[in-house]
Amino acid sequence: MAGFLAAHGYAPGPTQRPLLAGALAGLAATLPATALLHLLGALEVEARILSLSVIATIAAGWLAMAIAGALYARLYGRAANDPRTGWLAGMAFGFALWAAGAVMILPLVSGGRAPAGTAAIGVFLSLVLWGGALGLILPFIQRRVRTSFEQAAEGIEHGPAAAAREGKAKGPRP
Which pLDDT band, with edges at 50, 70 and 90, does 72 fall under? very high
Query: Among the listed ranges 22-31, 58-67, 147-156, which one has the minimum average pLDDT value?
Result: 147-156
Is 168 contained in some domain? Answer: no
For 107, the domain range is: 15-143
Is 169 contained in some domain? Answer: no
Is 49 contained in some domain? Answer: yes
Q: How many domains does the chain have?
A: 1
Is 171 contained in some domain? Answer: no
End-to-end Cα spacing for the chain? 59
pTM: 0.72
Per the rule left: phi > 0, alpha: psi between -120 and 50, beta: everything else, 47 is: alpha
Longest dimension (CA), the chain: 79
pLDDT of 89 above 60: yes
Is 163 contained in some domain? Answer: no
pLDDT of 11 above 60: no
Is 89 contained in some domain? Answer: yes
Residue 97 CA to residue 20 CA, distance in Å, equals: 20
Is 174 contained in some domain? Answer: no
Residue 84 CA to residue 64 CA, distance in Å, equals: 26
Which pLDDT band, with edges at 50, 70 and 90, does 5 fall under? very low
Is 153 contained in some domain? Answer: no
Residue 12 CA to residue 38 CA, distance in Å, equals: 36
